[in-house]
Amino acid sequence: MIGELKSKNTRTVRGKKVVRLKVDIPYGALTDLEVSGKQSLEYLDQRVGHEMAFKIMALEDEGQTRIDG
């Protein structure tokens, strides 16, 4: 799934430096996705305030099509 990076801020939380990213992801991309057997929006609601893994990668060409194999 591809989202649009809206902002990046660096700040200190409880004495640790963190980076906060704000990403807009198309609603349709999340409504059709399941994570750990749950609908993705429900899963994300339950993970607020907890650690999650995610992947950041650069797009080589804007508008490219990703083919998962």
Residue 15, helix vs strand vs coil: coil
Mean pLDDT of 40-67: 81
Residue 25 lies in a domain: yes
Calpha distance 53→9 (Å, rounded) = 19
Residue 37 lies in a domain: yes
This prediction has a pTM of 0.65
Q: What residue numbers bound the domain in which 16 lies?
A: 4-47
Tokens of 31: 């409504």
Report residue 65's pLDDT band, with 50, 70 and 90 as the boundaries.
low
Calpha distance 64→52 (Å, rounded) = 27
Residue 64 lies in a domain: no
pLDDT at 69 over 60: no
More confident residue, 29 or 6: 6
Contact 2, 24 (CB under 8 A): no
11-33 pLDDT, tens digit each: 999 999 999 999 998 998 888 88
Residue 56 lies in a domain: no
Min mean pLDDT across 3-17, 21-35, 53-67 is at 53-67
Residue 52 lies in a domain: no
